[in-house]
Amino acid sequence: MSLSCIVSVMVCPTARFLFESYARAAEEHFDATDKLCNLIGQHGQFDEQTEYAERMRQKCSAALFALEQHWAQHSCREGIA
């Protein structure tokens, strides 16, 4: 199921918001790690990008945790997975 299909079947506005936040955070994490791969051997920039990629990983994990917590408490995931 594509991202747009998943979002379109979500009835709960809070779940939709949390899912979209998670999707943006995952994309930011992907972009940060992709950029990191291109900086191998450039120590100063690589170190800065490593720290940024780690912050984006933490942001992504927190967004997923918030979404999963909402789903567990609100039971609004039915029919999505």
Domain boundary assignment for the chain: 22-74
Q: For residue 9, what pLDDT is reported?
A: 62
SS percent in the chain: helix, strand, coil, step 5? 80, 0, 20
| Identity of the amino acid at 53 | A
Q: What pTM, to 2 d.p., does this model score?
A: 0.79
Structure tokens belonging to residue 2: 């594509």
How many angstroms separate the CA atoms of 81 and 78, rounded?
A: 7
Q: For residue 79, what pLDDT is reported?
A: 53
Structure tokens belonging to residue 46: 């690589």
End-to-end CA distance of the chain: 9
Tens of pLDDT, residues 21-68: 999 999 999 999 999 999 988 888 999 999 999 999 999 999 999 999
